[in-house]
Amino acid sequence: MVDRSGVAVSWSRHGGADCIRLAGLAELAGLELAARVRIHPVSAVALGTAPPTAGRLLRDGPDTCFVPRFPFLDGTAYVVTVDGAAVAELTRAGADEAATTEVLAIHPSAATVPRNLLRSYVWFSAPMSEGYAAGHVRLVDDAGDVLAGALLATEQELWDAARRRLTVLLDPARIKRGLAPHREAGYPLRSGAPFRLVVDDGFRDARGRRLRAGAERRYQVAGDERRHVDPHTWTLRVPHVGTAEPLQVGFGRPLDHGLVARCLRVVGPEGRPVDGVADVGAEERSWRLAPRQGWACGPHRLVVDPVLEDLAGNSVGRVFDRDLARRTDDPRGARPVTVTFHPR
Amino acid sequence: MTEYGLRVGRAELGSAGPITFGPAGILFLADNATATVFAVDVSDPGRTAGSGPFELADVDARVGSLLGADAADVAIRDLAVHPDSGNIYLSVQRGHGESAQAVLVRIDRADASISEVPLTDVPVASVAIADAPAPDDERVDVVLPLGDEGEEITVGSRTIRILRRPIRTSTVTDLAYVDGALLVAGLSNEEFSSKLRRIPFPFTDAADAAGNNLEIYHVSHGKWETAAPIRTFVPFDGGRAILASYTCTPVVHFPLAELAPGTKVVGRTVAELGAMNQPLDMVSFVQGGEEYLLVANTSHGLIKIARRDIDAQAPLTEPTEPVGVPRETADLHGITRLANLDGEHVLALQTDPDGRRHLRSLKSASL
């Protein structure tokens, strides 16, 4: 782009970095380059007094290169000003790549959830960008209307370290009994009224691309779940000694997808953990452990971390909101709970 | 800065999170991507800019201009005011996804000039805030990977690929420094609990740095006791007490002295802020010789509560209206962050109906 000033401005490279190259910039004695050449995002120009974009102005033969302190952003337009006059506007091309990222899973995977459901998880096939969850994940009823205020708005989204699993919380203030929001607005969900968790394709992956397609999961809504998670009521299918048959554990109700994967372990007769491959079963209602080596004789312990929760946030150690008048709601301590079994 | 254990190095931020000033102009920065809190000597220019209000329209577009980004690509995550100079520090996330960068920005109180604060070759210390398993806990978090990451293992006739990596994270929602300790409130991406960490500063070895994990409960109307993550909190009464608001909106008071490791603390619920509203930030300020607390909310205006009313408020036991301490609601909306600018002004980050963000001063005497 050549302006009346005779300065040609273009995207270029300098010293291994992206830059804006200015050709034909006449030298003016006694004036520093930094005082003559300014770069601003177009969107900031109207402010008049916005600071110029940070970067270095470097001589490259007859040309001048602006190397920004932070990389240029795709899709952003920049204005180049020389001696107070705008000489060019350049737009950084957006990444025009095909969408490849998709939603792999939405948890809970149970078809029916309690009315006081607390948490969902969305798994993506690639790392995602932050800042899109509030606008692109929602709960809707069968008519497609959004359940307003059902999800908790958090400023900092809840991701795993790889930015592939998003945790979505339903507004706990509307679930907890007795609180003003619960009395004023009621539960986010209604028993008997199905709903869908919807992720639309506007959610951006870490490279800024849309999703290949939106995704959703539909749920039926049952009554409330307010009991502790109680490992002593679980059913165990005990394997045979010397085999690598899996130990199978049935929970009797769906448990939290995120927690069940890490809250269970098996300790052998000598006090060492049994190494193997653990799987979570359908609807997060069961768990099994296939050992790497055959099962030993003697007492084994299934050790349950008391933070293990069900879909409504009731854990082994405490119920989600404890009715102080009900003895069965009393906390059960912060120590691991063990269930002993003997391979047959 | 060596007396605080800072050494020249780099604060390598993976993401921009809450910030707060500690002793001697040291700024604490929470990085949720790497589960670390950094303590950085920001080398504030230090001239006292005098008092008077500070206003800066379109602060997001101005900061974006410096960083070569449109306002839409700039997220101001937190703000803090240097206790001596009154200079304003912003924790800023620039860009999204792979191109996102965390930047610390300083706005000069005197002339509103904006500059990047270096985080390399500066005195720095750090502490990990991950929920590290106990040393004798041999568990690893094993997940089935989604691509070709992880390792292959064979069990019986099956060969599968597994990934041994924690997927549980703890997101810092707020920070405060009180009497030699950094208080850190966090939100887990898995379990729903109320943990407030007290991390001694200067940071010591890893074992100490894990800090006290303080479980804080609250009771609604004398009938239901719950734990919930703390979203925002503010020390007041000279650091003797904390006022905290939870993800489930009650405002709860507890005395700091009662916070001992391993003890269950039940806070006193002193107010409820109502449905479809989330508290975003709190600050304590003085008006007419009395201490007040100011709460910024997602849907209500600014709420002002007197300390004497908090002290006098019996725990909420009846679900009657109004709920809890007397409060005044100012017709100021869109305020997402608050900080004490000086004795006479509270600095607010405000989003206007067009989505533009401005820094403005609220006169303490008029609040």
pLDDT at position B140 is 43
Decide if B77 contacts B17 (C-beta within 8 A).
yes
- Note the helical H segments in chain A: 33-36, 42-45, 133-136, 172-175, 180-185, 257-260
A322 touches chain B (CB under 8 A): yes
* Range B58-69 average pLDDT: 97
Quick one: CA torsion of A172, A176, A178, A179, rounded to 10 degrees? Answer: -10
Closest CA to A113 of A164, A188, A200: A188
pLDDT at position B161 is 57
Which residue ranges make up each domain of chain B? 1-126, 174-333
pLDDT tens column, B97-118: 888 999 999 999 999 999 999 9
- Note the helical H segments in B11-91: 59-67
User: Rounded to a whole number, what is the distance in Å from the CA of B343 to chain A's nearest CA?
Assistant: 29
pLDDT tens column, B223-232: 777 778 888 9
* Beta pairing partners, A166: A122, A159
CB contact under 8 A, B248 and A172: yes
Neighbours of B149 (CB within 10 A): 12
Distance of CA A4 to the CA centre of its chain: 50
- Whole-angstrom distance between the N-terminal and C-terminal Cα of chain B? 37
Confidence of residue B134 (pLDDT cuts 50, 70, 90): very low
Q: Which residues of A touch B64 (CB under 8 A)?
A: 41, 43-44
pLDDT for residue B206 is more than 60: no
pLDDT tens column, A61-76: 999 999 999 999 998 9
* Range A264-274 average pLDDT: 93
DSSP letter (8 states) at residue B53: -
Confidence of residue A185 (pLDDT cuts 50, 70, 90): confident
Cβ burial of A49 (10 Å; 0-12, 13-18, 19+) is exposed
d(CA A243, CA B259): 50
pLDDT for residue B142 is more than 60: no
d(CA A261, CA B158): 19
Confidence of residue B52 (pLDDT cuts 50, 70, 90): confident
pLDDT for residue A320 is more than 80: yes
CB contact under 8 A, B101 and A292: no
Decide if A296 contacts A338 (C-beta within 8 A).
no
* Summary count for chain B: helices (H), strands (E): 3, 29
pLDDT at position B189 is 85
* Range B286-312 average pLDDT: 88
Interface of A with B in 91-120 (CB under 8 A): 104, 118-119
pLDDT tens column, B77-98: 999 999 999 999 999 999 988 8
Average pLDDT, chain A: 92
* Range A222-238 average pLDDT: 96
Please state, for a pLDDT cut of 90, what percent of chain A lies above it: 73
d(CA A7, CA A85): 11
d(CA B157, CA B29): 49
Please state, for a pLDDT cut of 70, what percent of chain A lies above it: 98
Interface of B with A in 220-239 (CB under 8 A): 220-228
**Domains of chain A, start order:** 8-91 (2.60.40), 103-221 (2.60.40.1220), 231-341 (2.60.40.1220)
d(CA A211, CA A203): 6
pLDDT at position B321 is 47
Interface of A with B in 210-269 (CB under 8 A): 244, 256, 258-259, 261-262, 265
pLDDT for residue B205 is more than 60: yes
Which of A65-79, A306-320, B308-322 shows the lowest mean pLDDT across its residues? B308-322
For residues B318 and B217, which has the higher predicted lDDT (pLDDT)? Answer: B217
